[in-house]
Structure 1
Amino acid sequence: MKLKTAHIQNYRSVLDTGIFEVESAKTILVGPNEAGKTAVLQALQQINPPQGVKRLDTLRDYPRAKYNDITTGKVDPKKVPIATVVFTLDDEDVMALPVSMRGVEGYTFTRYMSNNASHNLIGAPALPTVGSIKRDMIRLAAHVDGRTPVADSVVASTAQTDKLNALLKDLSDEDSVSGELSDALKRWVNTLIAHADDSEDTRIDRLQAALSIGADRDLALNTLHDRIPVFVLFSNYFRVRPLIHLGHLADRLQSNTLDDEQYDYGNKCLLQLLGFTARDLSDLGKAPEPPANKPEALKTYRDQLDRRKYQLNSASVQLTNEIRSVWKPSSTRPEADRLRLDVDGQYLKVVVEDELGVEIELDQRSEGFQWLVSFFVVFFAEAADRHENAILLLDEPGMSLHALKQREFRETITKLAAKNQTIYTTHSPFLVGPNELDYVRVVELNDRNIGTKVHTTVTSSDPAALLPLQEALGYDLAQSLFAQRRNLVLEGLTDEWYLEGVAALFADGGGIKLNDKIALVTAGTAGKVVYFATILHAHNLKVAALLDSDSAGDAAAKQDTLIHKLGRKGILRTKDYAPAIAKAEIEDLLRDTLPIIARDQLGWDVVDQATQQASRPLVDIFSNVTGFSKYKLAKAFLRWTRDNHFEVLSELERTAWTKLITDINAALK
């Protein structure tokens, strides 16, 4: 089961985020401080929180400005939706459903302010109405009563007809048949089977199938409810102490008087990871060694000590390997070499051992390193327990890490997301990869009267909300601009997405491969292509440019500077690969596929227009669609490429892209 969309309402600063899409692996919530990113995660966790997480509290969680509606009784907390989500179903989910429900397309769940919930099936067979089965029931009753079936308006007075009339008393034809009514009618039909002849078999089968829909729906809902993933929210406040007094911690846990619940949570997870309770380790530290004349007791004692030693060592190795994957010590900048967990009497110690063998307590290391250790301890402990395959909600992960460590930790999140669908918040440009913009959801709070909004598209009226994305792109551009010998300058970001998406399809499917040594440089507009090309050419780098064949692309292609720097061979035009369209843009190289994707994913149906107006640019055709944007279309194409093969492209498209990629490779060979 995968989260598909989410909708947060009536929670703290959030009045209504709007419905936003969630990616199947990782989704990034980007926005400035106080935009409401944390509130979105906290509300989302209430869909199915782990045990021990505080539930919704009207006094604390309902928007303060509207709280008077609660106290005056104007608003019923049981009817106030907080989080509504839609799940897609995997094969295991579908096979767990009754056969009649296996065409279900999804499952939706809503949590309300009073912690009650509702759920529903998407695409399930509709419940029958009284009117839709009434005729069959009347005729079956008449048949069993020994009568010839009569008109619906005639009321039979014999036993089965009377029973049926009693069951349907006070019901209209529009009323749905479900629950107790469905069960009662089904029992009534079953009692008549033995008294009906073979001519009624088809009618009885039809009635039984209709009356089973309600029970099957209920069973499907209960089944999917039990399969909802746990939503685990990781906070920066979870920390592991470098020195834990086991006896004191065991007493606090036993009496439920923790000094600081969030701080001690990390310590509890550390013990969980080790497979011991605080009391077990404490008692083992107090136990005297048995006398030598009791070999069985001595063996048991030694086995306990060895098990403790081996589990501590195993956990130390696991944590060390994971931390090294991000921290990456080097010979020129020695960092933490090894993390070691050890027990000394009543104390559990977490120390860092460097390459010289010097041991340093964890709290003497940097904040970033402490956070990383704590994160992996909590994650491994939780993932190994009830939260395996859960949905991870990470609130500002790695903020105390150095910028370059954040970039490395970004890859760690990607690995986590391969097994656990992950949503994380950030305002750091280093936790957003340049190829991850389609994973980004922009969170903004421009007006308290409107509340927090979440945009599926990379758009915002607040420049601060987009700043991390601008910084991420700027940093990546600065790092890569002069790093590659071969550079292809593109007009816009969507051009890069189309080229990368098709290149990936070809590479996976055995088609021509785009030279992986070619850097794709996005200029932003056709007019800026000449500036990027000039700068790159000045550094003695190989440069080519791909320009659309619209008016802006024509103007750029005719600039003397660009022609002089790149030569005719280095200026590639989309019209050369879609010759039937005079002002072709890169979208026209996918003219057969994009209309289908737009129709199926976005509800923009221009399939017929694209066929009938074969010489008109595809973007012009789409421009008449309400809400059209090139960004949305390109993003939908990227999603499509993840689940499709290059042979799904039409023959004309494969031919055009094969020629384009061949020419790009030749221009930058």
Structure 2
Amino acid sequence: MKLIKAHVTNFRSVEDSEPFGIEQVTCLVGKNEAGKSALLLALAALNPHPSTPVVFDKERDYPRRHLTAYETRHNGRDAVAVETEWALDADDINAVAAVLGDGIMTSQTITVRRTYNSAGTIWTLDVDQKRVIDNLLASKGFDDAQLSALKIATSPAELAKKIEAIPELTEPQTKLVVWLKQQSTFLGAVRSCLEPHFPTFMYFSNYDRMEGAVQFELLQQLKASNQLQQDEYSGARLFLEFMEYAGVPLEDILKVTTYETFNAKLQGASNNITDQILEYWTQNPDLEVRVDVSPGKTGDRPPYNAGTVGRARIYNHLHRVDTPFSERSAGFVWFFSFLVKFAQVKASGRPVVLLLDEPGLTLHGKAQGDLLRYFDEKLAPYHQIIYSTHSPFMVAPDKLLSARVVEDVVDTSGPRRTSKGTKVRSDVLSKDPDTLFPLQGALGYEITQSLFVGKHTLLVEGASDILYLQALSDALKARKRSGLDPRWTLCPTGGIGNVKAFVSLFGGNKLDIAVLADQTKPDTKKIEELRRSQILQSGRVFTISDFTDKEESDIEDLFDPMLFASILNGCYNLTGTSKLTATSLDEADQATARLVKKAEAVFRVLPETVPMFDHFTPSAWLIRNLEILDGTGEEVESSLRRAEKLFQTLNGLLV
């Protein structure tokens, strides 16, 4: 049985969420106070798991501004707080068929809802009641006349009464009467077949953290007085759940008199949880969970100074020191508590829908990614998960269609602001940037990571470098000569000063990175520092000067001055006295050998009708006019020789 749709109404800030779809893993995205927790709590109260007994309370949960009008708004009936739609699977259908025969269900979906002041859920089932009666009466030995009279019954009680009126019932007929008297309705009989498959809802919040130490006699008293389920003892309950997972429940702990009696079980559970921590907690692989149960010491603070005390400690193999569980980072404490909780869920074998309120809020972004991996690999194959978040790292960028946007909608069209309550939508048409931020962040992070789409990445300074290199490579390949190997992915960094940051950010992608930079006097020190640094493999930092034999060079210096002048003439439509030559370009600024600086000097004295020179425009023109590189003159040939030398050097780095 799978939850496919939910609709929350009349619950706290959620007056009408509107129906929204549910996936195997569904993410509720929204800013603080949007109503995400209210949605999860409403779902939790539909069929609560025993460990999280959430209930509907009219005075506490019904929208306060409408509370006095409760009876009027609902015509004297109880308000519906949550309604859900479920898809039946083959196991569900077979469970019904095993008791009532085939062909009973006329729809593969059912609806389950819950109201205030209700002791249970209300089910809506599409059932062929005539087929139910036919199946029940078949093969029971009734003759045609009897069957004709029996099939007009409309309820189990009426059918049982009609059968009892038949003299000398056989044993199968008598058993059928007994069974019918146990059923209130035929729909109820179908429901009783499906209820074992109906999941409970377990709610787990970011604030549920296991205590580092507990005193078991005190917990026994709290349990006996039904106080242990109160929120203030949630951490202690988690510790007991860990002990139960270890096979050492509270009652057994207080019965034994020697530590060794259950030490082996404690170690086994600790090792199991440690293995899971190491698999999904990549922040620190040197941790080990240890649990100790021993008599309280008189010098400790109450209540740990007497009775039987359980303590969780974390041993760090790297530093060779153990510390109390409570003194670890908030993220680790939460993650451990989470694993304990759901190790127990998995062990129970019962169908459970997991409702996680702001999971991993205290985790580092990378650890939140580990948590999503845990969802996919350990939980989702067995349970549906609905979780809320406002962190971009808790939104799976490859599963944005499973995200639901949650907003507290305010109508501002009238003279005063009016609340429409919390709404849930599957599209991303929200106008509120705060609501969309987690989705934007997740998508932006994914796009940024995918800038390096190849295994081999060549970092260049700007977009114009990419266009010039592509044009030269295409011209060489057209002549059956060495162009840039297509395995290289070109990525602009914005300057030599940004290279270290780029490599640090994306080096984790296990990429083969090389650098091609301009060579200018101000950048000489940065280039040498980059070559000496350990962030790149040796011999993978190149400058344009390595291929032009000039002291200073930009990407444009790969071109012969005459060819570069022709590119500028074509790009900017320079004619007449404004038309450039190699000589006029050179004479514009004889203090530098850089063609870019010479071009800038020329353009400063050209008529105002000529646009100002920039780095990108000529490269964009060249990529659209590659025929200028088809010539056989020395200006083209010398340019291609320099480019070919560059490409051969870069291609030689590829393994």
Same fold (TM over 0.5): yes
SS of the aligned residue for 1:234 comes to strand
Matches within 5 A, 1:176-325: 178-179=154-155, 183-184=157-158, 188=162, 216-258=186-228, 260-284=232-256, 287=257, 305-325=259-279
CA deviation string 1:288-316 (max 9, x = no partner): xxxxxxxxxxxxx6xxx545111111111
Mapped partners of 2:449, 2:279: distance in 1: 22
Mapped partners of 1:311, 1:120: distance in 2: 46
CA deviation string 1:144-201 (max 9, x = no partner): 89xxxxxxxxxxxxxxx9x99xx99xxxxxxxx7336xx536865996999xxxxxxx
Cα offset, 1:74, TM superposition: 5.2
Mapped partners of 2:159, 2:375: distance in 1: 53
The answer (yes or no) to whether the contact 2:87–2:109 under 8 Å persists in 1 is yes
Mapped partners of 2:452, 2:401: distance in 1: 25
Mapped partners of 2:326, 2:387: distance in 1: 26
Cα offset, 1:377, TM superposition: 1.4
Q: Given the alignment, which residue of 339, 345, 354 partners 2:289?
A: 339
Structure 2 letter corresponding to 1:55 = V
Cα offset, 1:263, TM superposition: 2.9
The answer (yes or no) to whether the contact 2:210–2:234 under 8 Å persists in 1 is no
Question: Gapped runs of 5+ residues in structure 1?
Answer: 129-142, 146-160, 169-176, 195-212, 288-300, 488-516, 522-537, 541-558, 569-669
Q: Does 1:107 align with 2:77?
A: no
Cα offset, 1:485, TM superposition: 4.3
Cα offset, 1:379, TM superposition: 1.7
Matches within 5 A, 1:412-451: 412-415=374-377, 416-447=379-410, 449-451=419-421
The answer (yes or no) to whether the contact 1:78–1:113 under 8 Å persists in 2 is no
Query: 433-442 or 453-462: which moved more?
Result: 453-462
What residue is the counterpart of 1:9 in the other structure?
Answer: 9
Mapped partners of 2:321, 2:85: distance in 1: 52
Cα offset, 1:257, TM superposition: 4.0
Matches within 5 A, 1:20-39: 20-23=20-23, 25-39=24-38
Q: 1:189 to 1:360 in 2, by over 3 A?
A: closer
Cα offset, 1:371, TM superposition: 0.7
Mapped partners of 1:282, 1:218: distance in 2: 44
SS of the aligned residue for 1:100 comes to coil
Mapped partners of 2:187, 2:107: distance in 1: 10
Question: Gapped runs of 5+ residues in structure 2?
Answer: 132-143, 169-182, 296-307, 411-417, 458-486, 492-513, 517-616, 627-655
Structure 2 letter corresponding to 1:224 = L
Mapped partners of 2:623, 2:515: distance in 1: 12
Structure 1 letter corresponding to 2:190 = A
Cα offset, 1:413, TM superposition: 1.4
What residue is the counterpart of 2:123 in the other structure?
Answer: 119
Q: 1:424 to 1:54 in 2, by over 3 A?
A: closer
Structure 2 letter corresponding to 1:100 = G
Mapped partners of 1:255, 1:566: distance in 2: 82
Structure 2 letter corresponding to 1:321 = D
Mapped partners of 2:32, 2:431: distance in 1: 15
Cα offset, 1:469, TM superposition: 0.5
SS of the aligned residue for 1:35 comes to coil
CA deviation string 1:344-370 (max 9, x = no partner): 222211111111431111111111111
Structure 2 letter corresponding to 1:58 = K
Mapped partners of 2:2, 2:58: distance in 1: 29
Structure 2 letter corresponding to 1:80 = A
SS of the aligned residue for 2:10 comes to strand
SS of the aligned residue for 1:452 comes to strand
Cα offset, 1:45, TM superposition: 1.1
Cα offset, 1:239, TM superposition: 1.6
What residue is the counterpart of 2:174 in the other structure?
Answer: none
The answer (yes or no) to whether the contact 2:44–2:54 under 8 Å persists in 1 is no
Q: 1:444 to 1:539 in 2, by over 3 A?
A: farther
Structure 2 letter corresponding to 1:184 = E
What residue is the counterpart of 2:584 in the other structure?
Answer: none
What residue is the counterpart of 2:342 in the other structure?
Answer: 379
Q: Does 1:354 align with 2:333?
A: no
What residue is the counterpart of 2:594 in the other structure?
Answer: none
Q: 1:192 to 1:315 in 2, by over 3 A?
A: closer
Cα offset, 1:404, TM superposition: 1.2
SS of the aligned residue for 2:41 comes to helix
What residue is the counterpart of 1:150 in the other structure?
Answer: none
Q: Given the alignment, which residue of 445, 450, 456 partners 1:480?
A: 450
Q: 1:144 to 1:35 in 2, by over 3 A?
A: closer
The answer (yes or no) to whether the contact 2:405–2:426 under 8 Å persists in 1 is yes
The answer (yes or no) to whether the contact 2:28–2:406 under 8 Å persists in 1 is yes
The answer (yes or no) to whether the contact 1:5–1:86 under 8 Å persists in 2 is yes
The answer (yes or no) to whether the contact 2:48–2:202 under 8 Å persists in 1 is yes
Provide the aligned length of Structure 1 versus Structure 2: 422
Q: 1:144 to 1:278 in 2, by over 3 A?
A: closer
The answer (yes or no) to whether the contact 1:4–1:86 under 8 Å persists in 2 is yes
What residue is the counterpart of 1:174 in the other structure?
Answer: none
Q: Does 1:391 align with 2:353?
A: yes
Mapped partners of 1:327, 1:566: distance in 2: 51
CA deviation string 1:56-79 (max 9, x = no partner): 111001111110112x55536753
What residue is the counterpart of 1:84 in the other structure?
Answer: 83
Mapped partners of 1:354, 1:326: distance in 2: 17
Structure 1 letter corresponding to 2:154 = S
Structure 1 letter corresponding to 2:273 = L
The answer (yes or no) to whether the contact 2:315–2:321 under 8 Å persists in 1 is yes
Structure 2 letter corresponding to 1:311 = K
The answer (yes or no) to whether the contact 2:353–2:383 under 8 Å persists in 1 is yes
The answer (yes or no) to whether the contact 1:239–1:265 under 8 Å persists in 2 is no
Mapped partners of 1:518, 1:439: distance in 2: 35
Mapped partners of 1:262, 1:9: distance in 2: 28
- Structure of greater Rg: 2
The answer (yes or no) to whether the contact 1:383–1:389 under 8 Å persists in 2 is no
Mapped partners of 1:186, 1:246: distance in 2: 54
Mapped partners of 1:219, 1:453: distance in 2: 36
Mapped partners of 2:320, 2:113: distance in 1: 54
Mapped partners of 1:230, 1:566: distance in 2: 64
Mapped partners of 2:334, 2:391: distance in 1: 16
CA deviation string 1:580-616 (max 9, x = no partner): xxxxxxxxxxxxxxxxxxxxxxxxxxxxxxxxxxxxx
Mapped partners of 1:566, 1:244: distance in 2: 74
Mapped partners of 1:412, 1:564: distance in 2: 50
What residue is the counterpart of 1:612 in the other structure?
Answer: none
Mapped partners of 2:260, 2:386: distance in 1: 40
Mapped partners of 2:338, 2:623: distance in 1: 51
What residue is the counterpart of 1:45 in the other structure?
Answer: 44
Cα offset, 1:4, TM superposition: 0.8
Cα offset, 1:229, TM superposition: 0.3
Structure 1 letter corresponding to 2:225 = S
Mapped partners of 1:358, 1:189: distance in 2: 77
Cα offset, 1:424, TM superposition: 0.5
Structure 2 letter corresponding to 1:349 = R
What residue is the counterpart of 1:650 in the other structure?
Answer: none
Q: 1:38 to 1:144 in 2, by over 3 A?
A: closer
SS of the aligned residue for 1:340 comes to strand
